[in-house]
Amino acid sequence: MKKRKQSTKKPSNEQDNAHHSLLVAITLTLIILALLGIAELTGLAGYEVAGVNTVIGSCQDLTTENSTYTLNQSITVSGTCFNINASNVTLDGAGFNITGDGSGVGVWNRGYANVTIKSFKSIASFDIGINLTSVVANEVYNNTVNGGGTNKHAITLTGPWTALSTTSSLRNNTIVSGSGAGETFGKGIFVDGANTSNITENSITATSQLSIGIDIDGGSVGAGALIVSRNSITLQSSLSNGVRLRDEEGTKIVENNVTMIQDSAVVSTTYGGVYLISSAHNNISQNRIMVAHNTTRGLVISSSGTDGNNSVELNTITTNLSNSDAIYITTGNSAHNKLRGNSVTTYGNGSSAYDLEGGINTSITNDILIASTSNDIVNSAHATLTNVTFNRTDTGSTVNITVRWYVSTTVKNSTNTAALQNINITTYNSSVAIVDSQLSDVNGAILQQSLTEFIKFNGTTTYATPHNFTAVASGYVSNSTVINLTATNSTTITLSIATNETPIVSVTSPSNNSYLSVTGVSIVGTAFDPNGASVKINDTGFGTNVGTYESWNFTNASLGEGRYS
């Protein structure tokens, strides 16, 4: 037998090259995927300039596009330090300081896009710490900026109506506005002429009077659509505002913590944790506002216009000192603002939960109001309160309010508890006026009703409850239920109705056409109601049959002698 000869033929160069290229491609792919994964996990997947890296140790103009400038020492300067004069630039403070002489700008970008300013340990003693004007896609993060001094600001984001600043982000910065007694009108972040930008997760402390943590001024440029979220703002002096919107529309103030710390000043003007002036269609939600200062409100709405429609919802507001209302709508034209799901508590004398002095057609829904030493609601031009928890006897004498509650109603078959469709449910108020009429759906339900308990106007209260709910349909016996909303508040009711069927009655004794010769007669027979209802004959009840026959005896002394059928 011949042995098979083992092949010694080597692979061709082409095969070697193909295998090598494939191995390299796979390896590079794995490396790239791993790097992308690391970037995603560490939060470095955002925009960073990939280009020329330049180390700098002095103030200068930054003019090279696609460059990263990294500081290697702290700098003290007179006037402006850095002018950014190119797009696609990163300025990295690398943990160093720049300190001015009270004039100029720390870092100034006039209109260049895709610029990042980050990681300065301190930018202090300038007119403006970081100034962004008419920029697009700028990012400022992880800096400490001090805007100390009268009319001096830490960070500004501005632009004229012809060149708004857009799609930029100010995040994770530590900001101080004001640095001592006598300094006023400082602003932590000032926005004037910007939209579609985010201001988030900054820590802002305002130390001087008349300061504003975040000031957003729409002015005449029609800016808006900003998101101010998850910032922590502490006001350490009087006459200050945490977040102020002026002439602004479409901005969201969400999940911020605003704390106003008590000082010795006594003020008599309107200031607040959040202050809206001449601003409409904004959303103020899920903020926590704590005020420990006299005559300073938690939230103020002023002159929002005939179509204000600001949504104030799910906020927690606490005020601790006197004349400090939780929410104040000032005199002037502020109509159709909506308060929903807020929880407010006041402790000081003269501190109401809501002072609605200038609020026209204000809608308040699902709020919880507690004013420990004052009225829950005062000075209402007109407000509708639906499902609101408050002391209904603890309102000011000049309020104009309508108090309403939710009622959910269903209708079922009394025999088998099945939901009934197309049953007409009509609701009557205490004046027997129809206030609602609906047909039940496939689940036996009608749309949830909002029904008036009472209207209070200039000290006079007019009640619209109890309410009567009546279910009617062909082939069914109608049924009614009466609810007093003063006792129940929001509630759920179920109406049970039975099919309208004639009871079955038969007489077994005496027999048909029997001659009765006595005035007292005993009648024996059976009675059955298909609905299980109580059977009555001549108003004498025989019990509930629930589907079974029942014998009954009936004596009627008024029967005369004769033949009966």
Put simply, whether the predicted model's pTM sits higher than 0.85 gets the answer no
Q: Is 181 helix (H, G, I), strand (E, B) or coil?
A: coil
Contact by Cβ (8 Å): 386, 366 = yes
Identify the CA nearest to 90 among candidates 64, 117, 109.
117
Sheet containing 522-528: which strands, arranged edge to edge? 504-509, 522-528, 550-555
Identify the CA nearest to 407 among candidates 439, 373, 447.
447
Contact by Cβ (8 Å): 159, 110 = no
Contact by Cβ (8 Å): 510, 523 = yes
Contact by Cβ (8 Å): 142, 172 = yes
CA angle 435, 437, 439 (to 5 degrees): 160
Q: Is 129 helix (H, G, I), strand (E, B) or coil?
A: strand
Total residues found in the chain within this entry = 565
Contact by Cβ (8 Å): 428, 435 = yes
State how far the Cα of 273 lies from the Cα of 337, in Å rounded to an integer. 18
Q: Sort 129 into a burial class: Cβ within 10 Å, 0-12 / 13-18 / 19+.
A: buried
Range 16-29 burial, b when 16+ CB lie within 10 A, else e: eeeeeeeeeeeeee
Predicted local confidence at residue 183, as pLDDT: 58
Q: Is 539 helix (H, G, I), strand (E, B) or coil?
A: coil
Q: Is 269 helix (H, G, I), strand (E, B) or coil?
A: coil
Per-residue tens of pLDDT for the chain, all 565 residues: 333 333 334 444 444 554 555 454 444 444 444 444 433 333 333 455 567 899 999 999 999 999 999 999 999 999 999 999 999 999 999 999 999 999 999 999 999 999 999 999 999 999 999 999 999 999 999 999 998 667 789 999 998 877 889 999 999 999 998 655 555 678 999 999 888 999 999 999 988 777 899 999 985 445 568 999 999 999 887 778 899 999 999 999 999 999 988 655 555 456 889 999 999 999 999 999 999 878 889 999 999 888 889 999 999 999 998 889 999 998 778 999 999 999 999 999 999 999 998 889 999 999 999 999 999 999 888 999 999 999 998 998 889 999 999 999 999 998 889 999 999 999 999 999 999 999 999 999 999 999 999 999 988 999 999 999 999 999 898 999 999 999 999 999 999 998 876 666 666 666 776 665 554 555 666 666 655 555 555 444 444 433 333 444 444 444 444 544 4
